[in-house]
Every structure is written in structure tokens, then in C-alpha cells.
A = this chain, B = another copy of it.
Amino acid sequence: MGEIRLVEVGEALLSVTTVEELVADPRAGAIVSFGGNVRDHDHGRSVARLTYEGHPSAQAVLAEVAKEIDARFDVVALAVAHRVGPIAIGEAALVAAVSTAHRGEAFAACQALVDLVKERLPVWKHQVFTDGTDEWVNCA
């Protein structure tokens, strides 16, 4: 079993560097990290601002997701955080990092972690476009 060093759903600014530093370990030869950043365009429309809303269970679900990845892959350490509340263009909504002994496992585990967060984490993204319209993503 690896070490789950951060699982966080909150409003604070996220940094990929922080999760990378958290998973660094003398046993780890490879660190793969992911930053999912808020873009200024979505499907060709210009985004003015964006907010993520989280269900009260989001923190617990993220902890389950982290445990599942740790069980499926040969992880030295992992760290993952999802932001909620208003997020500025260019800032990160999701950051994740995985360290492993060998690089193939780090890529596979980090990608599976991000995919599982997208699938399971009960959070919702609300976009307001520069033309004044808005949408809840995946529910239009």
C-alpha cells in the first residue's frame, strides 16, 4: 500500500507544485502530475467566469477514489485536490500527483486517478459566458 498524502475538496487556490512535492519520496523514481485548468473558451464560446459546486459527500468520495487507485496500482504516494467555489480563468480546478518506482505505473495511476475523479466526484461546473448566458456543464 502506498501513502495517500492529500485528499482535499475546498475553496483554496490549488498548485500542482504542492501535490508534486507531497508525493516526492526517496523510493520513487517517477512522479506524474496533472493540472486541470479553467479555460477561457468552451466549445467555441468565451467564458467570463466559472464556479464549481460540491455535494457535501465530495470529500468522502474523493477519499474513496484515492483508496481505490492506491489499491489498483503500485503507488509510492499520491495526492489529489479539487477546488470548489469561484475559480478564475487559468487557475486549476483539479490537481493530482502520483509517485511510483517506475514511470509506466506513474502515468497509468495518475490517468486512472483523474478519470475516476471525473466519473465519481459529485461536483458541478457552472459557466457564465461573455454574452451573458450561462450553463451547468453536462446538463444543458
Contacts and interface: CB of A to CB of B under 8 A. Distances in A.
A29 B37 contact: yes
Nearest to A101: B39
A34 B90 contact: no
Interface in A3-45: 16-17, 20, 24, 26-41
Interface residues of A, number: 30
Given A26-B40, A26-B90, A35 B20 contact: yes
Interface string A90-131: 100000000001011011001100100000000000000000
Contacts of A28: 37, 39
A17 to B, nearest CB: 5
Nearest to A40: B26
Given A20-B17, A90-B24, A114-B103, A39 B29 contact: yes
A76 to B, nearest CB: 10
| In the complex, the 10 A-B pairs of residues with the closest C-beta atoms, listed nearest first | A31-B35, A107-B111, A17-B17, A29-B39, A26-B40, A33-B33, A32-B34, A30-B36, A16-B20, A29-B37
Interface of A: 16-17, 20, 24, 26-41, 89-90, 101, 103-104, 106-107, 110-111, 114
